[in-house]
Structure 1
Amino acid sequence: MTVPISYLIFSALIGLIIGSFISMLSWRLPRALFAEELADLQDKQSDLPEESDNHSFRSIFFGRSACPKCNQTLPWYRLIPIVSYLSSTGRCHNCNEKISLRYPLIEIASMLLTVITVWHFGITTTTIYALVFIWVLLTISVIDIEHQLILDILSLPLLWLGLLLSTFNLFTDPVMAIWGAAAGYLILWILFHTFRLLTGKEGMGYGDFKLLAALGAWFGLSAIPQIILIASISSLIIGLAAVILQRRSMQQAIPFGPFLALGGGAYLFLGSELLGGFL
């Protein structure tokens, strides 16, 4: 199906707007849920902006956007995705402090993923569900990269949505979705406890189990091997590259959620063709 260029341009704009929302949500949501646990996060990750807002669920959606350094409330024209960042040369108009690159990078990622999804699936109902899937995975990935957390408030609704969509045989059928969800959780659960038994260390978190279960619910049991393969290979490559570039030591853990999301996204667009080509 050929998608008119006007639809792709409109999709890019929607992607930028959603990306702006994701950058806000991924910053505020963990702090609303784990305010005490993340109180010292800014000391450990100095490249991330400080946050002085009240970390409550109300502030997530209704709190006014402000500069994280000087707490100056931002007018609407300072909130235009990408444009505001470029026009201000990446600095706050009030205190002139540097604005984190996380904001434009998330907006650009959302825009590209949205355009690719619309181009791939066309103007169909499936596109709507695929976009929700991609946007949630992007949010989960950002939070996991920054906080090493995969929140149930994101992964569990994704799992239930996948199971519900399977009743329409959209991406898989109900039987395969149920088995996929169960296998996705149990495989990582077994690996987690086996690794801990052998080494005394925890290799991953329970959030990874739930995320893979959600991916299994969306695509079925047959998708699990491909998703795990892509996640494992990509995490190994990135981990080794980080060690070689001296960005982290061999003992430092890397979040696995973004790589599971990469595997899920690859299956969304390529299905089993990717694993077949690899083999």
Structure 2
Amino acid sequence: MTQLLASPGLYLPLAALLGLVIGSFLSMLTWRMGQAAEDQADVHFLSLINGRSACPKCQTSLPWYRLIPVLSWVQQKGRCHHCRATISPRYPLIELTTAALTVAMAWQFGASLATLYFTLFAWFLIAMTVIDLEHQLLLDQLTLPLLWLGLLINTQNGIVPLESAVWGAAIGYLLLWSLYQLFLIFTGKEGMGYGDFKLLAALGAWFGWSALPQIILVASLASLVITLGLWALKRLSLRSPTPFGPYLAMGGLSVVFWPV
């Protein structure tokens, strides 16, 4: 075990494998959570992870050998083996993204508690990003556990002192809530959802109040650049609502790799 933890050549491939497996789980979970939220169904978490995976089109249950991350999608050429319906590339993309971030955390922090903390953090952000992109929702089932997890880790000064984490959560929430209220007063429209407040509060709970300017700056710049890029490519109208959660996630990850 000591040799394993001391050798990147050994633990990085294991991190990649773990990331692929977790990515496969997240691709299933985000699909089910998103559908339940769209249907406004009050579904218990255990019921979301219970039951075998099935083709969304024909509902045929999939055996284990058709659930191998990435390889199954490639082998089946992106189609269901039974009904030949197209299988979204979201599945291998989520799996590869999760694997890449898992390896990045292991590479950045080595064999340490920080790797565990930040890998869990990245997995939460991936799940929230996928659901927000697909349904424009940031669910309490993800934002609130992330917030509490950050506070609990920082009770032991895991990342920042607890006082900074508490202030970070409070200021993060109130900052976006205040902007929301001002935008509503002057335009009569809602500029963002309450999930954005909670996600920024969670990021503040992880990294403290001093990280909030960096998070907001990175999120705002990323949102501006990507939105204008999609508009220039005629893939997006500037009048279309744009989820802000993925950009807040980018801001949070920026603090992981380039801390304040």
TM-score, normalised to structure 1's length? Answer: 0.88
3-state SS, counterpart of residue 201 of structure 1: coil
Quote the residue 1:250 is aligned against. Answer: 238
| 2:23 maps to which of 13, 19, 26 | 19
Quote the residue 2:14 is aligned against. Answer: 10
Quote the residue 1:210 is aligned against. Answer: 198
* Structure 1 residues 93 and 56, CA gap change in structure 2 (3 angstroms): farther
The answer to whether the 8 A contact 2:8-2:107 is kept is: no
Quote the residue 2:173 is aligned against. Answer: 185
In structure 2, C-alpha distance between the alignment counterparts of 1:100 and 1:56, rounded to whole Å: 26
| 1:86 maps to which of 45, 52, 74 | 74
Matched residue pairs, number? 255
The answer to whether the 8 A contact 2:38-2:135 is kept is: no
**Identity over the aligned pairs, expressed in percent?**
55
Runs of 4+ displaced beyond 2 Å: 30-34, 55-59
Quote the residue 2:89 is aligned against. Answer: 101
The answer to whether the 8 A contact 2:214-2:251 is kept is: yes
The answer to whether the 8 A contact 1:66-1:74 is kept is: yes
Unaligned runs of 5+ in 1: 38-54, 273-279
In structure 2, C-alpha distance between the alignment counterparts of 1:12 and 1:133, rounded to whole Å: 16
**2:16 matched to 1:28?**
no
Unaligned runs of 5+ in 2: none
| 2:143 maps to which of 144, 155, 163 | 155
Instruction: Provide the alpha-carbon RMSD of the alignment.
Output: 1.5
The answer to whether the 8 A contact 1:32-1:57 is kept is: no
What is the CA distance between 1:202 and its match in structure 2? 1.0
Please give the residue correspondences for 1:1-279 in structure 2 after superposition, counting only pairs within 5 Å. 3-36=7-40, 57-272=45-260
* Structure 1 residues 122 and 201, CA gap change in structure 2 (3 angstroms): same
- 1:84-128 deviations in Å (ceiling 9; x for gaps): 011111111111111100000000000000000000010112211
What is the CA distance between 1:254 and its match in structure 2? 0.9
The answer to whether the 8 A contact 2:6-2:111 is kept is: no
The answer to whether the 8 A contact 1:228-1:260 is kept is: yes
What is the CA distance between 1:165 and its match in structure 2? 1.0
The answer to whether the 8 A contact 1:3-1:123 is kept is: no
3-state SS, counterpart of residue 236 of structure 2: coil
Q: Which segment drifts farther, 202-211 or 192-201?
A: 192-201
Letter in 2 for 1:97: A
TM-score, normalised to structure 2's length? Answer: 0.94
In structure 1, C-alpha distance between the alignment counterparts of 2:44 and 2:249, rounded to whole Å: 27
